[in-house]
Amino acid sequence: NMPISFGFRNANQFWFAKHKKAFWLPTPEDKGAKHDAVMYIANRLDEEVTFTENACKQLTGIPKVFVKTALKGIIKEAKSQGITTIDKAFIEEVNSKRQ
């Protein structure tokens, strides 16, 4: 049952080939961290700044390896504006500036 060929095709399908016809499995869609994991990290990075649950739900699409870096950037922006509670509206504002 060992695959003889495997790899990514079309950037969204992972193909396998056994001794029969090749088949594929979809690539996982949820690449980001869950909102409770984001909230856990976010509210421990800085004692002066807190994140709401809805703000963290906006950040679930960030790949896990970049969550901390993104949160630090958001905290830096919040501090420059004198904001101590980061909510969904602030996250949307930061995202609109990014694009």
DSSP readout, 51-72? E-HHHHHHTTTSBGGGHHHHHH
Residue 93 predicted with pLDDT over 60 = yes
Residue 9 predicted with pLDDT over 70 = no
Q: Give the amino acid at 95.
A: N
Indicate if 23 and 51 belong to the same structural domain.
no
pLDDT band at 62 (very low <50, low <70, confident <90, very high): confident
The pair of structure tokens assigned to 64 is 């896990």
Q: How many domains does the chain have?
A: 2
Please list the alpha-helical segments (H only) found in the chain.
35-45, 53-58, 67-80, 88-98
Is residue 26 within 8 Å of 57, Cβ to Cβ?
no
Please state whether beta strands 13-17 and 23-26 pair in parallel, antiparallel, or not at all (unpaired): antiparallel
Region 41-54: mean pLDDT is 95
Indicate if 71 and 86 belong to the same structural domain.
yes
How confident is the model at residue 63, as a pLDDT? 84
Region 72-83: mean pLDDT is 95
Indicate if 17 and 51 belong to the same structural domain.
no
